[in-house]
Structures are given as structure tokens and as C-alpha cells.
Amino acid sequence: MPFDALRSSSSPAVYVGASPEAPGSNAPIGIFDSGLGGLSVLRAVRAALPDERLIYAADSLYAPYGERDDDFIADRTLAICEWLVSQGAKALVVACNTATSQSIAQARERLAVPVIGVEPGIKPAAITSQTRVVGVLATAVTLRSARFQALAERHTGDCRFILQPGHGLVQAVERCDTDSPELVALLRSYVQPMLDANADTLVLGCTHYPFLDEAIRSIAGDRLTLVDTSIAIARQLERQLDSFGLRAMPAQTHDQVQDQTQAQAIELPRFYSTNDGKALRQLAASLLGLDVAVEHVVIPSRRALGLESDPV
């Protein structure tokens, strides 16, 4: 049964088909991104929901999604979401703007768990901007999607949006480059025209981009308010968990736990990557302060198998 059917029911919330564990148990939340950008969402979720167990899956072998076709994005998104559910996830966060824009409706229709997506912060940016000029930095796929176009049209009003595809930025973050001279030069080519047009607000329309905030600040100083929606995503997840009785019970406090090492291990997210995971581990350590192992996982899908069978 699709989760939307459960959502529309007037009967008490019933959790169907997602996990053998009962609602409100310690079942994990699955967070998925095409690569490393979803770590910005994971950071916000850990802060808002410290008692929840988390599984993070990075499809870095096939990143970036922003340069893939729509069918490939949908194929991989559904495959990885289904894999996370098979790992017992009670709720999913598609922490990728590109995957959300192309595939969120299909994921919600197919899966019997809450599925929270992400979208660029157009509405808060339109509210925030004083000059009424807003820059939007996102992947080309996100910017061309019908979902994004509808969102922008709803909030345009007297506000002008400058849409800029962030070619090369996801790749930079994937290789843990957040401040090289080459990266700053690329960012400058995207941000400076916005400043020249009197923009005072910049929407970070990809979950990779919050890791570039310091580099953006080195170019724009205080002239741009940066809009990152990861905190709003965590709050929406919290509302969904509470609504359907899926919230984890509070963990024991540390003074109640004899084995502190074991307690800390329980609290750490589990990380998986479809490539070797080195960049994921490095970024988790440098930007989140998490020294964790990253397990390699093979998640087959129709389009991925097609790529692997192609001659080099």
C-alpha cells in the first residue's frame, strides 16, 4: 500500500510493510543522496533528532545525478530507496534535489514508508530578499524540472530569480574540494553576475552546496544571505515521525550506560557507498567530525546494469 493511502486514512496511523519492527521502535531512518551532499541533511537530522538511528547511502559510483537523464535518476532513486527499506528503514529522506525533482512522486507511490524530499528554498528566499533579486544555484536537472518550475512560479511575484546551473560543483565536493583556487574561480563565475544584478539572497539548491558556504563567503562577503533548507527538512521529518507514531524512544543518558564506547557506537550513523567510500569517510570526518567506517554496497538497477554491460 502506498504511504499516501495511509496518510489519507481517517483511522489511527498504521505502519504497513516497511519494517518488521513496531512503530516507534528503534528502527532506523534512511537518508539517500547521489553522493556526499546529503551529509548536510544528515547533520541537521542528527541535531534535531538525536535519538534516531540513521543509515546514509551514497550512490557515488554514479554521481553526479545532475548530468544524468531523467530515467536513470528515477531508476537509481527507486532502487536505493527500496534497498534502504530492505535494511529496515521506517522513513526515508531523499537528500538530493535532483532525485527529488525527478522521482519523489514515484518513490511515495511505490513505498509504504514516509518519504521526505528536498527542494530549493525558493519561498524563504522570496520572503527574505530586500532587493527582490534572488540567485538560485542548482543542478541543471533540478532547474529544468517541472517541480522546480512550478515552485518558482508560485513564489515569483515581484521577485526576480537568476537561475544558475552549478556545473562542476558537485564533482568538487565529491572529491572533497571545498576551497581550492580553481573551485573559488568557478564559484566566482556563477556568483559574481548575481551580485552585479543586485541579488542579496542565494538559494543553495543542491545538498552538496552548503559545504561551499565558506568559499561563497570569500567571494560575496555579507552581501548574500545563503538559504540552506536542511534544517527545514529535519523539521518535516520530525513532524512525519510524530504524526505516524514512528519517533524513537529517548535513549539512555550516558551516566546510565556502563559501556561508553558501546553507547557512542550505537549513536553513530551507518554509512554505505556504491564506490570505495574514501571521499565519504573523509568528508564525514572533516565537516561533521565523524570518524566512521564506510561499507561498500552493490545496489543493482536496470540502468546501472546497462552501464556496466557497455564496452569501455
Alpha-helix runs per DSSP H in the chain: 3-8, 39-48, 70-86, 97-110, 122-128, 140-144, 146-155, 169-174, 181-196, 213-220, 230-243, 260-267, 278-288, 302-309
Is 96 known to be catalytic? yes
CB of 62 closer than 8 Å to CB of 274: yes
CA distance linking residue 198 with residue 2, whole number of Å: 45
CA distance linking residue 294 with residue 280, whole number of Å: 7
Number of Cβ within a 10 Å radius of residue 52: 23
The annotation status of 56 as a binding-site residue, yes or no, is: no
CA distance linking residue 112 with residue 119, whole number of Å: 22
The annotation status of 34 as a binding-site residue, yes or no, is: yes
CA distance linking residue 181 with residue 215, whole number of Å: 10
The annotation status of 208 as a binding-site residue, yes or no, is: yes
Considering the candidates 81, 159, 176, 206, report the single residue annotated as catalytic.
206
The annotation status of 66 as a binding-site residue, yes or no, is: yes
Task: Order the strands of the 160-165 sheet from edge to edge.
Answer: 160-165, 133-138, 201-204, 225-227
- For cell 521577485, name the residue: 159
Is 159 known to be catalytic? no
The binding site comprises: 33-34, 65-66, 97-98, 207-208
The binding site for substrate comprises: 33-34, 65-66, 97-98, 207-208
Catalytic residues: 96, 206
